[in-house]
Amino acid sequence: MNRTINFLVRAATNTAFRSVQVRRVAPEPTGAALVLANHGGGLGDILTVIAGCSRFPRFLARDIIWKFPVARSVMDSVGAIPVSRRQDHGASADNSGLFGAAWAALSDGDLLAIYPEGESIAEPRLAPLRTGAARILLGAWERGTDVWIEPMGLHYYDISVLRGRGFVHVGTPVRLSELVGELPSPATSENRAAVRALTELIAQRLSKVVAEYSDWRQRRDYESAATVYLTDKSDRTDADYGDVAITAEAISRAPADLQEDVVVALRAYVALLELLGVREGEIPRVAVARRRLAGRTAQLLVLAPAAAYGLVINGLPMAGLRTISITGVAPATAASLKPAFALIAFPAVWSALGWWGYRRAGVAGAVGMAASGPASLAATVTVAENAQLSFLLARAVRRAEGPVLERLTNARRQLVETVRAAVQESG
């Protein structure tokens, strides 16, 4: 069963994300540990927390998930612990079983994972933390278990799109015993003052790995500016998303006037990009752009037949994903709906293909037809992504000359200098 779960997790992660990068500032602790992560990416947050851990964590999850037989089987197989929330049960919510199960798990040296905000947050900032994590920790301490506390910041370039990029920033773990001296006595789960104080200490540590932005536009602006800054430093056409997220967060900590300077410089640069009709990273040296264009064009020609087949076979699920995109749902909601829909719709289509193949050619036909579904989908996605980039590269080759390009170069230089000043000032 564990192998099956691991396979499904890997498949879901590869479906939901183009990449998930993990950075640790210290080795992962062994023994009893509690991962504390922000919760703004819906279902994707489960996948990224798992990616950030070498051990499979036992999640604390909403108990209504257990109402569905298949989901119950999955949750029980991975040792998840049900949480009774007032949002789901009102005054009848009872978490006495939750704390007992969590304390027992920590006593056994397990790794638990919890989202201390209590629910998925629709804004790109850390919400006030609930006290559940602190009560779990202090209850374990009362029972003789010294728990490692591991803050985990989850970042997404765009949580509303499927196949986006994720970044898991794991902060410095700390033992509960190192914090108990800062708490009011007695350090128990029943002492509300101690619980509130520990919750505040947890929030401080989590805030060091979680970005704080006023809204989604500010986050996108700072990440766009960070991308330009980093590609200028490395002379690359793309930047590592972990570096982008960390640099954008540094901009957000700079003085307000420097943050405003960054946005003004970014707007000027983007305006010239739009005038040229290209996007950032697609006006490298023209000779380089021509070589890249030739390579992408050759790849498109080779994959075109498989991509066309994949578009026909996988058309309905792809249309469903597009429908979710245009309905206007919140980014965090889309981040849950899209991978969930994809994990159901695509395998359903591939199973139907396998059944059709079995009817005509037996087991070999079933395997071949079922395998053609994901293989052709990969070809379709690759062709779609490369076709867009090839179009932009071709346009860049045509337009990357003349006075507008010179103005663009100057605007880019100004943006880079402005970001550098903000990053240096933020410390």
Task: State the pLDDT at residue 145.
Answer: 93
Instruction: Find the distance separating the first CA and the last CA of the chain, reported in whole Å.
Output: 48
Please name the residues in contact with 37: beta carbons below 8 A apart, sequence gap of 6 or more: 45, 48, 49, 52, 113, 114, 115, 151, 152, 153, 154
Judgement on whether residues 21 and 146 belong to the same structural domain of the protein: yes
Task: State the pLDDT at residue 125.
Answer: 84
- Rounded CA gap, 218 and 249, in Å? 11
Judgement on whether residues 125 and 61 belong to the same structural domain of the protein: yes
Task: State the pLDDT at residue 401.
Answer: 54
Task: State the pLDDT at residue 397.
Answer: 58
424, amino acid identity: Q
Strand runs (DSSP E) across 67-214, as ranges? Answer: 81-83, 111-114, 148-156, 164-170, 174-175
Task: State the pLDDT at residue 170.
Answer: 94
- 46's tokens: 């489960």
Is omega for the bond preceding 69 within 30 degrees of 0, making it cis?
no
Task: State the pLDDT at residue 281.
Answer: 56
Strand runs (DSSP E) across 115-237, as ranges? Answer: 148-156, 164-170, 174-175
Task: State the pLDDT at residue 287.
Answer: 45
Task: State the pLDDT at residue 301.
Answer: 84
Judgement on whether residues 256 and 293 belong to the same structural domain of the protein: no
Judgement on whether residues 69 and 174 belong to the same structural domain of the protein: yes
- 236's tokens: 């690359």
Task: State the pLDDT at residue 36.
Answer: 95
Give the domain range for residue 383: 286-399
Task: State the pLDDT at residue 293.
Answer: 67
Averaged over successive runs of 10 residues, the pLDDT of the chain (427 residues) comes to 73 82 89 92 84 89 77 78 68 71 92 88 84 93 94 84 85 94 90 95 92 87 91 71 91 92 91 66 50 72 87 88 77 73 87 90 89 88 76 61 68 90 86
Sign of the Cα pseudo-torsion (342, 343, 347, 348, in order): negative
Backbone angles phi, psi at 132, to 5 degrees: -60, -45
Q: Could you tell me whether strands 164-170 and 17-24 are parallel, antiparallel, or unpaired per DSSP bridges?
A: parallel
Judgement on whether residues 34 and 170 belong to the same structural domain of the protein: yes
Residues 60 and 112 sit within 8 Å (Cβ to Cβ): yes
Judgement on whether residues 292 and 334 belong to the same structural domain of the protein: yes
- 287's tokens: 């000779």
Judgement on whether residues 422 and 319 belong to the same structural domain of the protein: no
- For the chain, percent helix, then strand, then coil, each to nearest 5? 65, 10, 25
- 154's tokens: 């989850």
Judgement on whether residues 410 and 353 belong to the same structural domain of the protein: no
Task: State the pLDDT at residue 284.
Answer: 44
- 408's tokens: 């663009």
Task: State the pLDDT at residue 288.
Answer: 46
Judgement on whether residues 42 and 139 belong to the same structural domain of the protein: yes
- Rounded CA gap, 249 and 347, in Å? 38
Domain boundary among 158, 183, 207: 207
Judgement on whether residues 191 and 132 belong to the same structural domain of the protein: yes
Judgement on whether residues 64 and 188 belong to the same structural domain of the protein: yes
Q: Could you tell me whether strands 17-24 and 174-175 are parallel, antiparallel, or unpaired per DSSP bridges?
A: unpaired
Judgement on whether residues 38 and 151 belong to the same structural domain of the protein: yes
Domain count for the chain, please give it: 3
Task: State the pLDDT at residue 40.
Answer: 80
